[in-house]
C-alpha cells in the first residue's frame, strides 16, 4: 500500500466543497498545498484562519496550510491533487497549468460536465493532458459541505481503478465524522453524481410549483431507474444502483435544503427566469450546465430520459415549468 506519509497532497479550489475537503485533509495531514483563486482569499485564510466566502465557521490551523495562488506551484509540489472547482471553471483554471501531470494522481470531486466540451471532468482530463486512467480517482457523496462543516456524520465513496490508490485517498479524508467506501466504478460514480444534480433541479421545480411529498417520492423512484438505465447504457459494468454513491447521493441532493440544485429548481418553479435564478445564487448549480451536456450526449446514445428531457425543455427551450411537469407526471409510475 502507498505510504500516506510520503505523499504530498494538493487541493485546487476554494468554494464550499473545496473548503469541506480542506477540513477533512486537515484532520489527517501534517500539511497540504492549497491553491486559491486570488490574493484576497489567500491573505484572509492566512490571517483569519477561515475562508472569507464559504463555510466561514470552519477554522484552520495556519501551520497546516501551504496556500498559493500559483497553480503550477501547487501541482509541482504535490503527488496527489484534489481538483475541486465548479465544472464551468475547470478549463480556465487548468489553462494556466504549464507543469506536467506525469506521475500525479488526480482526484476529482466535481459533479458536472465541462461546458463547450460536453465531457465528464475525468474524460476531459484524460483527453486534455493525455493521462492514464489509473491516474484518476473520484470522490462522491452523499455528502453536503455544510454538514461537513458541522461535523455531522457523513459518507463518501472513493472510486479508482486500483483499490490501493482508493484506500490512500480514503485515508486522506476519513475521520471521526467522515466514513468512506471504496469502489472501482469510476465512470458510474462520476456520471451518477452529475445526473443526480439534474434530478434535484426537477425536484426543486416540482416543489416550487406546489407538488407535495407524494409526487416527490414518485419522481425520485423514477429518477433512480432513469439513472440506472443511463449508467448501464454509457458504462455497462456491474454496480448496485441502490448503493449510497447512486441512490443515497440522489436522495440527499433531491430532498435537502442544503442542495443548491434543488434551490435553483425551486426558484424556477416559483417563476424566476433562469438568468435571474443564476444571478441570485452565490454558488454554482452544476445541474444547470450538466442538463445541456447530457442532452448533447443523448444525441449519441439515444437515452430514455423523460425527467432530464423535461428539465432541458424548461431550462434551455423556454417551456413553461407547470406545463412541462404536468406532461412529465403522465410518464411517471
Residue 261 marked ligand-binding? yes
- CB-neighbour burial class of residue 28 (10 A; exposed 0-12, middle 13-18, buried 19+): middle
Q: Hey, which residues are catalytic here?
A: 196
- Residue ranges per structural domain of the chain: 4-184, 188-329
Class of 4-184 in CATH:
alpha beta
Return the exposure string of 112-126: e unless at least 16 CB atoms fall within 10 Å of the residue's CB, then b: bbbbebbbbbbbbbb
CATH topology for 188-329? 1.10.1040
Model confidence, pTM = 0.93
Residue 179 marked ligand-binding? no
Residue 260 marked ligand-binding? yes
pLDDT tens for residues 232-283? 999 999 999 999 999 999 999 999 888 999 999 999 999 999 999 998 887 7
pLDDT tens for residues 283-298? 778 999 999 999 988 8
Residue 224 pLDDT exceeds 60: yes
Per-residue cell: 72: 503550477
User: Would 4-184 and 188-329 be classified into the same CATH topology?
Assistant: no
Q: Is 44 in a helix, a strand, or coil?
A: helix
Amino acid at each position: 500500500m502507498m505510504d500516506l506519509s510520503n505523499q504530498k497532497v494538493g487541493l485546487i479550489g476554494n468554494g464550499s466543497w473545496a473548503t469541506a475537503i480542506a477540513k477533512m485533509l486537515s484532520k489527517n495531514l501534517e500539511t497540504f498545498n492549497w491553491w486559491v483563486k486570488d490574493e484576497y482569499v489567500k491573505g484572509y485564510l492566512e490571517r483569519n484562519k477561515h475562508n472569507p466566502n464559504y463555510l466561514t465557521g470552519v477554522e484552520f490551523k495556519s501551520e497546516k496550510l501551504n496556500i498559493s495562488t500559483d497553480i503550477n506551484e501547487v501541482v509541482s509540489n504535490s503527488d496527489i491533487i484534489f481538483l475541486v472547482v465548479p465544472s464551468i471553471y475547470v478549463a480556465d483554471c487548468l489553462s494556466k497549468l504549464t507543469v506536467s501531470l506525469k506521475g500525479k494522481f488526480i482526484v476529482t470531486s466535481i459533479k458536472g460536465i465541462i461546458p463547450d466540451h460536453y465531457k465528464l471532468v475525468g474524460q476531459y482530463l484524460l483527453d486534455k493532458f493525455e493521462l492514464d486512467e489509473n491516474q484518476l480517482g473520484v470522490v462522491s457523496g452523499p455528502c453536503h459541505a455544510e454538514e461537513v462543516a458541522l461535523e455531522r456524520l457523513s459518507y463518501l465513496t472513493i472510486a479508482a481503478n486500483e483499490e490501493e490508490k482508493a484506500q490512500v485517498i480514503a485515508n486522506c479524508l476519513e475521520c471521526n465524522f467522515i466514513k468512506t467506501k471504496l469502489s472501482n466504478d469510476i465512470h458510474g460514480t462520476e456520471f451518477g453524481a452529475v445526473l443526480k444534480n439534474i434530478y434535484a433541479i426537477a425536484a426543486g421545480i416540482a416543489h416550487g410549483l406546489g407538488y407535495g411529498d407524494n409526487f416527490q417520492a414518485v419522481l425520485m423512484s423514477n429518477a433512480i431507474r432513469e439513472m440506472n438505465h443511463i449508467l448501464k447504457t454509457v458504462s455497462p459494468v456491474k454496480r448496485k444502483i441502490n448503493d449510497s454513491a447512486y441512490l443515497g447521493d440522489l436522495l440527499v441532493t433531491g430532498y435537502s435544503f442544503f442542495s443548491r440544485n434543488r434551490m435553483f429548481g425551486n426558484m424556477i418553479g416559483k417563476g424566476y427566469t433562469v438568468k435571474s435564478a443564476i444571478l441570485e445564487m452565490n454558488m454554482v448549480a452544476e445541474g444547470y450546465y450538466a442538463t445541456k451536456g447530457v442532452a448533447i450526449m443523448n444525441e449519441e446514445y439515444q437515452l430514455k430520459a423523460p425527467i432530464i428531457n423535461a428539465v432541458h425543455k424548461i431550462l434551455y427551450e423556454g417551456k413553461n415549468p407547470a406545463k412541462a411537469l404536468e406532461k412529465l407526471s403522465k410518464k411517471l409510475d
